[in-house]
Amino acid sequence: MARFSQFAVAAAKMAFDDARLDPSTEEAERLGVLLGNGIGGLPDTEEGCRIMVAKGGMRMTPFFMPMVLPNMAASQVSLQFGLKGYSSTVITACAAATQAIGEAAEAIRRGALDVMVSGGTEGAITELGLAGFCVMRALSTRNDDPTKASRPFDAQRDGFVPSEGAGILILESLDHAQKRGATILAEVVGYGASADAFHIVAPDADGSGAVLAMKRALDEAGLSSSEVDYINAHGTSTPLNDATESLAIKRLFGDYAYKVPISSNKSMIGHLLGAAGGVEAIASVKTIMEGIIPPTSNYENADPACDLDYVPNVARRKEVRVVLSNSFGFGGQNACLVFRKFEG
């Protein structure tokens, strides 16, 4: 099993345990999985190429293809837990996990399923993966001080810091959750997605794609921008993304953009690529549960293009009812979720 698939299976097991939900006691046809992923089994692709060059193709593992395919993480979760209702994968770069959660919630709302295992997984820290991002100047070069390298919205940011892992949630219909007496942590009340149609890697400079995705998410939730208590930003620590995301927030939120707290988890855990939105969805829900907004670490130097409240360096206690979580990816992929406190 490829590393990204192992992450997914492990995280799904933890999510089921946390939800106190035993899938073996449920109707298998009403349970599904929808995961986000960016690159698939890149370590296994690398290793397969090495073996082929050194020893010939017939010395490669016969499991090569099933290991590297991006859909295999969801397939492995389906196999391991007996989920027969649905299995699919969203491959939209760094927006993948957020888009997967949004689409999973929509599937439940349509009545097709009762439970969806959803989020994202990534295991792509390899020589090839790092070289690919380095040659396009996407990564931070602050190698002499790595703890300060990821600094979203800071004037001296110079690229992102890659990481890997999985973030997975259990989504349920309200009726199913209440019938089994589940502890409901939050509601997914809004989802929006859009495309920049601008450039293969750079965001649209006017932030219009991000504005559209955020607006669609809020519209579906039936909320105004002034009702958002916290924004979990995409915040990659790249010069272009952070300035564009800040501009998009200002365009949609108006004067309230300067009042709403915004922070980036990537300042502390790096960028999980296709899995980022899954981990950030969990952080968004935990913010609602705990009333603690995580900080943007390493924010030390103000950037005129990033002049909002980024909760610099110190977590903040605040009652949070509504969170907007943003994810944007290469290819002009934009996806946003709105989480709300469940009030019965």
Distance CA 23, CA 330 (A): 35
**What sign does the CA torsion over 128, 130, 134, 137 have?**
positive
Given a cut of 90, is residue 254 above it in pLDDT?
Answer: yes
Residue 31 has φ and ψ, to the nearest 5°, of: -115, 135
Among this protein's residues, is 199 annotated catalytic? Answer: no
Given the residues 49, 234, 306, 336, the one annotated as active site: 234
In 3D space, the residue among 233, 332, 230 whose CA is nearest the CA of residue 276 turns out to be 233
What type of residue is 32? Answer: G
pTM for the structure as a whole: 0.97
Q: Could you confirm whether 134 is annotated as catalytic?
A: no
Amino acid 344: pLDDT: 81
Known catalytic residue at 94 = yes
The angle at the Cα of 20, spanning 77 to 26, to the nearest 5 degrees, equals 60
**Which residues touch 162 (CB under 8 Å, ≥6 apart)?**
124, 125, 129, 130, 133, 139, 270, 271, 273
- For the segment 111-127, what is each residue's pLDDT rounded down to a tens digit? 999 999 999 999 999 99
- d(CA 256, CA 227) in angstroms, rounded, equals 10
Half-sphere exposure of 233 (CA within 13 A, CB side): 32
Contact 117, 105 (CB under 8 A): no
pLDDT tens readout for residues 6-59:
999 999 999 999 999 999 999 999 999 999 999 999 999 999 999 999 999 999
pLDDT of the residue at 188: 99
pLDDT at 299: 98
Residue 65 CB contacts under 8 Å (≥ 6 apart), including other chains: none
pLDDT at 205: 92
Structural domains in the chain plus CATH codes? 3-179 (3.40.47.10), 187-340 (3.40.47.10)
- Average pLDDT of the segment spanning 296-325: 99
pLDDT in tens, 217-241: 999 999 999 999 999 999 999 999 9
**Token reading at 182:** 């589940």
Task: Give tens-digit pLDDT for 136-160.
Answer: 999 999 999 999 999 999 999 999 9
The answer to whether the beta carbons of residues 99 and 333 sit under 8 Å apart is: yes
Active-site residue (options: 134, 199, 271, 336): 271
Mean pLDDT of the chain: 98
Percentage of the chain surpassing pLDDT 90? 100
Report d(CA 202, CA 220) in Å as an integer.
Answer: 27
In this prediction, residue 293 has a pLDDT band, given cuts at 50, 70 and 90, of very high
pLDDT at 51: 96
Q: How many CA atoms lie within 13 A of 103 on its CB side?
A: 22
User: For position 52, what pLDDT does the model report?
Assistant: 94
